[in-house]
Structure 1
Amino acid sequence: MTKAGVYIGLGANLPSPEHGTPRATLEAAIAALEAQGLAVVARSPFYESEPVPVSDQPWYLNAVVEVATDRDAVATLALLHSVENAFGRVRNIRNEARVLDLDLLDHRGTLRQGPDSPLLPHPRLADRAFVLLPLRDIAPHWRHPVSGLTPAELLESLPEGQRIRRLSP
């Protein structure tokens, strides 16, 4: 049985040779996830955000989708990495500019800590406005599996300085 409650963060700040702009790349990535059997049940607006940590690289385009799947967390993360690879994602340095970034934020409240991936909930989810704002848009009543806080409550505790703006459709 396919179940919802799986949240994926999407980001890009480099153009893709195949798909073009970061926006077109994220649209194509959402279509690729659906083609691989993840049913998108909710999708946030796009946000433009300054890189975290702040750097001279281009601003990111971000969104969050909620999907329904019968895959477990490990299989879901493997699928996300497969889609990233198909889009030309190269992993060299943490926080570097990228064509596509797909993060498994939460998998139906699963808690996974320790050396094995995926760590759930995503370990930096609560520190990033570019995740919390779009998550609040599609799942305002979602609660962080560890703290129990909603996206709005987590946003209130963020330090100032993360520059982000919601884009029109």
Structure 2
Amino acid sequence: MLNKALECSTAYLLLGGNLGDREANLEQAITLLSAQVGEVISVSALYETAAWGKTDQPAFLNQAVALQTNLTALEVLTKALAIEQELGRVRKDKWGERLIDIDLILFGDEIIDIPDKLQVPHPHMQNRRFVMEPLAEIAPEVIHPVLGQSMLSISQSLNDPLPVKRL
């Protein structure tokens, strides 16, 4: 019997948080992702952004992470949600304050639509500067599998007025 090597995929995630020690929370999330999901191959700088959607809350720190994994996209999402819980995330309000948020943005060049569970590419990524700037930093030439544009190109053509500051 032949041993078939598990196929690796590159997953791109966006981490964010606006409560507690924001930077330490992101570092802990990256450590846990590395241990439970796959090898971290790239991490963006930290970006500070005013809250989006629900604006009466503290500013967010965001960071993009690329990792190599042999898990499926749904398994990556499941592990990310478990890591959020492990780090103390409590889901109260949509777009509300949070210690940590981990979103699966891209998974290789896959297009996935599992209603009420997982959409990849993330359906709103191309409209949000706080997603695109860190992602374009670590994956400028990666092509959006639906739009057919590079992350850098999408980032440069955004109309999102929300300021994003690289730290």
Give the deviation of 1:156 after TM superposition: 3.2
Q: Deviations over 1:27-52 (max 9, x none)?
A: 01100111214110011001001111
Amino acid at match of 2:55: S
For normalisation by structure 1, the TM-score amounts to 0.90
Matched, 1:11 2:16: yes
Kindly report the root-mean-square deviation, in angstroms, between the aligned alpha carbons of the 2 structures.
Answer: 1.4
Q: Counterpart in 2 of 1:49? A: 49
Matched, 1:73 2:78: no
**Superposition pairs for residues 17-32 of structure 1, below 5 Å?**
21-32=21-32
Q: Counterpart in 2 of 1:137? A: 137
**Superposition pairs for residues 38-117 of structure 1, below 5 Å?**
38-53=38-53, 55-117=55-117
CA contact (8 A) 2:22 2:61 kept: yes
Change in 2 beyond 3 A, CA 1:74/1:31: same
CA contact (8 A) 2:13 2:104 kept: yes
CA contact (8 A) 2:37 2:71 kept: no
Q: Counterpart in 2 of 1:147? A: 147
Change in 2 beyond 3 A, CA 1:160/1:77: closer
Change in 2 beyond 3 A, CA 1:37/1:114: closer
CA contact (8 A) 2:128 2:160 kept: no
Unaligned runs of 5+ in 2: 1-5
Give the deviation of 1:110 after TM superposition: 1.2
CA contact (8 A) 2:129 2:160 kept: no
CA contact (8 A) 2:54 2:95 kept: no
Amino acid at match of 1:5: T
2:163 & 2:54 partners in 1: Cα distance? 10
Amino acid at match of 1:103: D
Give the deviation of 1:2 after TM superposition: 5.5
Instruction: Calculate percent identity across the aligned residue pairs.
Output: 35
Unaligned runs of 5+ in 1: 16-20
CA contact (8 A) 2:54 2:96 kept: no
What SS does the corresponding residue of 1:152 show, helix, strand or coil? helix
Q: Counterpart in 1 of 2:33? A: 33
For normalisation by structure 2, the TM-score amounts to 0.91
Give the deviation of 1:114 after TM superposition: 4.9
